[in-house]
Chain A
Amino acid sequence: MSCLSWGGMHMTFRQFAFNNVLRNKRTYAAYFLSSVFSVLVFFVYAVFAFHPNLSGGSLNSSVAQGMFLAEGIIYVFSFFFVLYSMSAFLKSRKKEFGLLMMQGMTSFQLRLMVFLENILIGFFATLSGIGIGLVSAKLILMIAENVLDLDETLPFYVPVEAVLLTFGAFILLFMSISIFTVAIIRSKGLIELIRGSDKPKPEPKASVLLSLLAVLLLGAGYGVALWVRGLMVAAAMIPVTIVVIIGTYFLFTQLSVYLVRHVRNRRNLFWRRTNMLLFSDLSYRMKDNARMFFIVAILSTVAFSAIGALVGFRSMTTNIFVLENPYAFEYTSFPSNTADAEEQHIKLIEQTLGEEGIDYRRVSGVLRLQAQIGSDDGVDVIGVSEFNAFAAAAGQKTVELGDHEALMLYYTNPLNVGRDAEPHQLQLAGADSVVELEVIGSRESYLFPVYTQMYVLPDQLIESLQEPVRVLRYHVFDVDNWRGTREAGRQLSEVLRGSQGYTFFAMAHVLHVLNQGFGAILFVGFFIGAVFFVAAGSFLYFRLYTDLPDDKRKFAAIMKIGLTDGELSNVITKQLAILFLVPIGVATVHGAVALTALQHMFNYSLAKESAIVLGSFVLVQLIYFLLIRVRYIRQVKGA
């Protein structure tokens, strides 16, 4: 039949190679799909990097540079990923090669065939990747726009540059990988090729010493990472990373082999129900698995830490920002501002808020800089009734002061160290005499635009002080739903640019601008994290489908003797659970330690963010595991 379709018996070698690919779709599918995946990732990323609104717009050059650097990382990664897929693919075809060589195919012809196949697959993978990328680009652009809350809309455009770059880069990649692969195909003995992967691998040996070393290295790495504080974290980061990577390697290549062997030698455990099937397989595949576990664990750790850190940073800056700015709008009038202008500005703010239908509470107060006895520096003070109005608007506790009592307010934030104070005496210059005050306590405060200490004084005492050195009039507008004031804030900020003797601050608007800058960086981080994570998933998938024929044969043999469906599912579920969840489990612990260290560096709790990031990765992996499990069990049974 096949000969007829070619119009006769004359099939050229090129046609043979071509048909070989087309007619063995299933064998080639995994390799093809992973190639398409690499191309797709690279291309979609390029669509962003070259987006006219991003590259020409608000992003500064260092961010743009970072984006191209990331593209480079993706390319290098793609190279190794395709190479790995390629070698897995060639390994599964040993038998076929043996058969071809037995039919008299020369080594040169075999290499030529592999080369032609590769070029063919590479070419179509590149086209498909770009094609799928073009189709999905709009969707991904929309998701990015919404998730990252970007102002710049990212409309769909025809990404000529991205297409050309991707096409060129991947044709080059597949060419070099083809040449490289062809060069390293070793003409092994024919007999070995024909036997294919039937020959059982010897079980790897585990050294007790290296197993202990794994525990020690991981323990030391974790210990240091969790113990150091502040800037020491940055200094310890690289050595700890190296120690943990080596420790992880030995954990999988030595300690796990050691543990599985231990189980094998304990008959009460090993000879129990389906354990024998499970653990014998584990130890049998340990050598391959160990290396793969290591790669997957490290890739996932990188993804976890990078995304966790970025999300943490963003949340940290946002939280500090929200904490330090309790009011939706703040207007500060300096002495150089005229009373007229101030009145006009306040009117404008109230009018705009009214037009936008925003409910607000306005609180106004005066901050006076008073001369202090025994110090050249003055100190800001505010009357207690005004303070209480501000505090109430910010939802904080009000205070009551006795006649000669004062409360100290101090400013602090996670990036610097706060100044807490013991009760002490405060001496201010009064109109007639020195005014002595008992400072009854101190409180952290972000209510006023004063970034050192200041004091709250009884109202009547303010009157008896000297003429203030400087007076700041401070108006705030408290809005319950401050996030809804972005538009009003934008309008007002355009008018009240804060040049002559006043400042205006619209919180929702400023926060939004701040997040814009983060958006691009976050996006790059997310993207690379996601790529690493998905790649880790594909490594697992490859590993699994390399083992599928073996598993099919094995389970067919046991089913004949009598294995119930439940027992089969049980063994496969455990086997897959170990494959999918052990490396991710290790990565989660690594990631948690890394994020904890980060948290110590900034003295700011990232527990919630870490939990969300790690939790969602684990959840995704669980879903992936469950999906693959159903499919795999069906395929093994379908033998």
Chain B
Amino acid sequence: MDMLKIEHLSKVYGGQVTYRALDDISLTIEKGEFVGIMGPSGSGKTTLLNLVATIDKPTTGHVWINGQDIHKLRPNQLAKFRRRELGFVFQDFNLLNTLTAEENIVLPLTLEGERVKVMEEKVKRLAERFGITSILGKRTFEISGGQAQRTAIARAIIHSPKLLLADEPTGNLDSKSSRDVMETLENINRTDGTTMMLVTHDALAASYCHRVIFIKDGKLYNEIHRGDNRQAFFQKIIDVLSLLGGNAHDLSSIRV
């Protein structure tokens, strides 16, 4: 069954010089799949993510999430759709610095009017699972980047979303924390069966995916599947990236 289905999606930015950020993209992600999107800077991968995240509207084309044509929803329905059906992980964590880690995690549920008991139980379980129990009472500026991102992941999945969207989740992290975060995501995918779409520059992060889709200049360029060996998959990703051109320094070959 398709969790995400994209058909003939295009996005043109207006203004004095029109700019075609996405050009007729079609792809599907099946339920339980973990898919990476890669491409050089300016290739349109973030635009694609924003369209799927319902933060932006396409010029033409359709996006279905779990069978629902999301761009037919009204703004308020969209907001509720995002916080019920989607989970987000951002490069800059997007945590509120006025709240503690625990409060950040339960925020989507408080907006839904969930009971305190239920929220407390869920936080406790997630915190234990991600090893952040000790920092639950701390404010966001008192914890490390890795802890912040795991807190953000906990927030993203506390309501058991249908689809988890991650935008460069390792972009602000050192390699140890990056690996922790990717293992956490992989673990969620495997244990909970959550469908995931990951946009990244980081070949190491992409190597955790089942499949990596490459885009260039707003068009699909290539697609590779992971076999049994993550090491070999990582190498394949590096190869495609060097073919793609783009910026060589984007590639991190040292982290394996």
Known: A200-B141, A560-B94. A272 touches B110 (CB 8 A): yes
Query: Is B27 positioned at the interface, with any CB of A under 8 Å from its CB?
Result: no
For residue B127, give the distance in angstroms from its CB to the closest CB of chain A. Answer: 16
Question: B38-46, B78-86, B225-233: which lies at the A interface?
Answer: B78-86
| Cross-chain contact B75 with A561 (CB below 8 angstroms) | no
For residue A572, give the distance in angstroms from its CB to the closest CB of chain B. Answer: 15
Query: Is B76 positioned at the interface, with any CB of A under 8 Å from its CB?
Result: yes
CA distance A490 to B106 in the complex (A): 78
For residue A262, give the distance in angstroms from its CB to the closest CB of chain B. Answer: 16
- Contacting residues, chain B, for A268 (C-beta < 8 A): 116
Q: Which residue of B lies closest to A202 (CB)?
A: B139
Question: A55-63, A524-532, A562-570: which lies at the B interface?
Answer: A562-570
One of A271, A280, A284, A563 near B79 (C-beta < 8 A) = A563
| Cross-chain contact B96 with A554 (CB below 8 angstroms) | yes
Known: A276-B110, A281-B98, A557-B96. A564 touches B79 (CB 8 A): yes
- Contacting residues, chain B, for A274 (C-beta < 8 A): 110-111
Query: Is B113 positioned at the interface, with any CB of A under 8 Å from its CB?
Result: yes
Per DSSP, chain B at the interface is helix
B contact residues, range: 20 to 34
For residue A266, give the distance in angstroms from its CB to the closest CB of chain B. Answer: 10
Segment 47-86 of B: residues with Cβ below 8 Å from A: 53, 55, 75-76, 78-84, 86
Known: A271-B116, A565-B79. A560 touches B55 (CB 8 A): yes
CA distance A419 to B99 in the complex (A): 68
CA distance A261 to B111 in the complex (A): 21
CA distance A562 to B110 in the complex (A): 12
Query: Is B97 positioned at the interface, with any CB of A under 8 Å from its CB?
Result: yes
| Cross-chain contact B84 with A558 (CB below 8 angstroms) | no
- Contacting residues, chain B, for A564 (C-beta < 8 A): 75-76, 79-80
| Cross-chain contact B110 with A561 (CB below 8 angstroms) | no
List the interface of chain B (C-beta within 8 A of A).
53, 55, 75-76, 78-84, 86, 88, 90, 94-99, 103, 106-108, 110-111, 113, 116, 119-120, 139, 141, 155
Q: Which of A268, A284, A559, A562 has the most CB of B within 10 A?
A: A562
Known: A267-B116, A276-B103. A562 touches B98 (CB 8 A): no
Query: Is A273 positioned at the interface, with any CB of B under 8 Å from its CB?
Result: yes
Q: Which of B55, B98, B110, B139 has the most CB of A within 10 A?
A: B98
Known: A200-B141, A272-B110, A280-B99. A560 touches B82 (CB 8 A): yes
| Cross-chain contact A561 with B103 (CB below 8 angstroms) | no
Q: Which residue of A lies closest to B167 (CB)?
A: A560
User: How many residues of chain A have a CB within 8 Å of chain B?
Assistant: 27
Known: A560-B55, A560-B88. A273 touches B110 (CB 8 A): yes
- Contacting residues, chain B, for A267 (C-beta < 8 A): 116, 120
- Contacting residues, chain A, for B120 (C-beta < 8 A): 267
Closest 4 CB pairs of A and B: A562-B83, A562-B82, A280-B98, A564-B79
Known: A280-B103, A567-B111. A561 touches B116 (CB 8 A): no
For residue A637, give the distance in angstroms from its CB to the closest CB of chain B. Answer: 11
| Cross-chain contact B96 with A559 (CB below 8 angstroms) | no
Ordered by A's residue number, 8 sampled pairs between the chains whose C-beta atoms are within 8 Å are A200-B139, A271-B106, A274-B111, A280-B99, A560-B82, A561-B107, A562-B86, A565-B79
- Contacting residues, chain A, for B108 (C-beta < 8 A): 561-562
CA distance A284 to B100 in the complex (A): 12
CA distance A277 to B98 in the complex (A): 8
For residue A470, give the distance in angstroms from its CB to the closest CB of chain B. Answer: 84
CA distance A283 to B90 in the complex (A): 26
For residue A277, give the distance in angstroms from its CB to the closest CB of chain B. Answer: 8
Interface contacts beyond A272-B113, A276-B110, A564-B80: sample of 15 additional A-B pairs, CB < 8 Å, sorted by A: A267-B116, A273-B113, A274-B110, A275-B110, A276-B99, A276-B107, A560-B82, A560-B88, A561-B108, A562-B81, A562-B108, A563-B111, A565-B79, A566-B76, A567-B111
